Amino acid sequence: MKIAAIQMRSGPDPEANMAALEPMLAEAAAAGVRYVLTPEVTMVFAENSEALAKVAAPFDDHPQLRRVGELARQHGIFIHIGSLAVPLADGRFANRSVLFGPDGAVVTTYDKIHLFDATIAGLNAYRESATYQGGTHATTAALGPITLGMAICYDMRFPTLFNTLANAGAGLIAVPAAFTVPTGQAHWHVLLRARAIETGSFVIAAAQGGQHANGRATYGHSLVIDPWGRIIAELDHDAPGVLVAEIDPGLVAEVRERIPALANARSFTPPVPLHS
């Protein structure tokens, strides 16, 4: 089974981002892929919440998503939009993944659960919770011979989500991302490989990369990792591009049999806090 990760350098203009995405989707389809993943904030990467509010379209009859559905049907493939901002009633947004099937219809969606509220040395503070509302449900979907599990960017730091997805049958876990450069250099590869190893799953990570029009810089380095933790494909840079990899769904069961960590996991009582 061939899969692909698309690396982008999205900006604040949805139409420009869609125009950049279309030929890369065509390239992936021409390579014979069955499933293609795009990065986090594929459709709009705005400077701030005020700018985002001006361009983020409602989910129903979203113009760019409507076009993606047409392309999924045209190419006959699964297209997974890593995420886009969806306006909510409280003035915030959902950071939402959308999976289209080969018939062009939406198969399922996933709203990013874990929100990045942190201060990184030398950079501005990030407060995703001021702009986004976190999701509450883990999501899987059937991709023929393998089941897909959905995560987004910061979710990769929370192993419980990945174990939940694997225990629900996921053998391929998608991690679209817009990772910062400092955290990417330190943690991107090791975190993604760890999630693959501990769940015995393939991991596909489609990234934003480079210097964006909103002033942000992202790490790039889109990856596909096998259930043994081996990087089997990588874009070793931060430029836009298409990463194609061939995966063997049967390897999931083989690795989980060799290292049955999911089956061997046990619940336990946490320690009682010590008082001085």
Active-site positions? 40, 112, 153
What DSSP line would sit under 189-225, residue for residue?
Answer: HHHHHHHHHHHT-EEEE-BBEEE-TTS-EEE---EEE
> Which residues, other chains included, contact 219 with Cβ-Cβ below 8 Å and sequence gap of 6+?
179, 180, 181, 183, 184, 185, 188, 207, 209, 238
251: phi then psi, degrees, rounded to nearest 5:
-65, -25
Task: Decide if 36 contacts 78 (C-beta within 8 A).
Answer: yes
Helix/strand/coil for 184: helix
DSSP assignment of 16-70 = HHHHHHHHHHHHHHHTT-SEEE--TT-S---SSHHHHHHHPPPSTT-HHHHHHHH
Can you tell me the distance from the alpha carbon of 183 to that of 166, in angstroms, rounded to the nearest whole number?
A: 25
Q: H or E element: which one contains 71?
A: helix 63-75
Task: Give CA torsion, residues 235, 8, 138, 90, to 10 deg.
Answer: 160
End-to-end Cα spacing for the chain: 57
CA distances in angstroms from 73 to 5, 148, 197, listed in the order given: 19, 19, 34
